[in-house]
Amino acid sequence: MNELLKLEPRELWKHFHSLTCTPRPSGHEAQVRKFVSGVGKERGLETIVDDAGNVIIRKPATPGLENRKGVILQAHLDMVPQKNSDSEHDFTRDPIATTIENGWVKAVGTTLGADNGIGVAAALAVLESETIEHGPIEALFTANEEAGMTGALGLRPGTLKGTILMNLDSEDEGELFIGCAGGMDAIATFDCGRSPLPSGYAGLKIAVTGLKGGHSGMDIDLGRGNANKIMNRLLLDSEPDYGVLLSSIEGGSLRNAIPRESFAHVAVPENRTQEFLDSLNVIADAIRREFAVADPGLHIEAVNAEPPDSVIDPEVADRLFKAIQACPNGVMRMSTEMDGLVETSNNLAMVKTGEKRIVVECLLRSSVNSAREDLQSMIGSLFALAGATICFEGGYPGWKPDQASPILKVMRETYASKFGNWPEVRAVHAGLECGIIGGKYPGLDMISFGPTIRHPHSPGEKVEIASVGRFWEFLTATLAAVPVKESDE
């Protein structure tokens, strides 16, 4: 028997185990959609798959509780596909290999998918249960949250019937989230002329690896290294000082993950190769010292390689390096309204070179729309001055905190009664789907909560087993405590 199937609550872990066996990276959700829909259909519940790929399953109230407010349990189907560079895992085909260490469930060399698989599993367990007391339930499983929130964006007004939305996608048990940041993708494209490599050059491959990475919202304030920024520092002065020619850079793989790795293929004049390596080692040592506490696993290496067939126009490479150097990354501003909350940030997420273009992608976040617009203008101006074409897309709204939320009051009192202490009330610097769904359903009373998950969006992702048990107890107790509809009071 798999270790997960022995954990309590078994009804939740059973479904999470099934999810680890079901490939579900963003954009490849057909199998998980079939699995989730099957749970609803097997129970004889109304099950809908909408045009955006969302699954909606409705369960009637426990007899006698038909007059309670309708609750929407919301979680997303997809997971972030991140793995270590030495892993051969195929997220579109292979099951996630899990292990248990010191009270935590982890994956082996890949992301675990607890974000948001635990939320999906909890909702499925509620749908399947014959003992949990609750009013009318709708389970909303949204598509493609991690790669653009297209499921939430495609949700049609009028589809949902409930008046309370419980988003099961937060990552700190004992905390209730009542607000989140909005976001916007910035995509800068440089046209790069290529030419054959002149004679007299040696090839080198430079690798930046070993960084923790993490969620570009939740972890952006932890001071971790950004592989794209580090690689750029290594190359910035090399082109004019040592005649280094750039062939390719591949850094980062997801817009909402702090980039953990970057790889560059360069050409160096044969008679200056050792000078360049000596200089690079000096810079690398300084960078390693900077991140000795926040990212002690940072590894920087340059090794001999075949000379590249072609190189990018040095003038374009110079503009690219200077633009990345100037591009803001990390926390831009902390909130003045809620202690400890990041208000505005930027994640310089990806740098990718092709035959004709170099693409730099950033994810901008802010809980203040005007601040996000100002950051958007800043980054747009920067890349325009560097000669790139810049576009912005995939924008989604934030979720303004409501301290007077009725469900917040119910859940605070329920948590205190059950566990003997009050939960913290916070907002989060991440793009929860609540902002989008709330925009389509004005007046929806929303809250987000979940178990304790650490290092989401990275192969270090893990979920605390004990916190899953408390999360489940809290969820089921809350469902029993949902108040009656105003019209029935």
Per-residue 3-state assignment (H helix, E strand, C coil) for the chain:
CCHHHHCCCHHHHHHHHHHHCCCCECCCCHHHHHHHHHHHHHCCCEEEECCCCCEEEEECCCCCCCCECCEEEEEECCECCCECCCCCCCCCCCCCCEEEECCEEEECCECCCHHHHHHHHHHHHHHHCCCCCCCCEEEEEECCCCCCCHHHHHCCCCCCCCCEEEECCCCCCCEEEEEECEEEEEEEEEECCEEECCCCEEEEEEEEECCCCCECCCCCCCCCCCHHHHHHHHHHCHHHHHCCEEEEEEECCCCCECCCCEEEEEEEEHHHHHHHHHHHHHHHHHHHHHCCCCCCCCEEEEEEECCCCEEECHHHHHHHHHHHHHCCCEEEEECCCCCCCEEEEEEEEEEEECCCEEEEEEEEEECCHHHHHHHHHHHHHHHHHCCCEEEEEEEECCECCCCCCHHHHHHHHHHHHHHCCCCEEEEECCCCCHHHHHHHCCCCEEEECCCCEECCCCCCCEEEHHHHHHHHHHHHHHHHHCCECHHHC
Catalytic residues: 78, 145
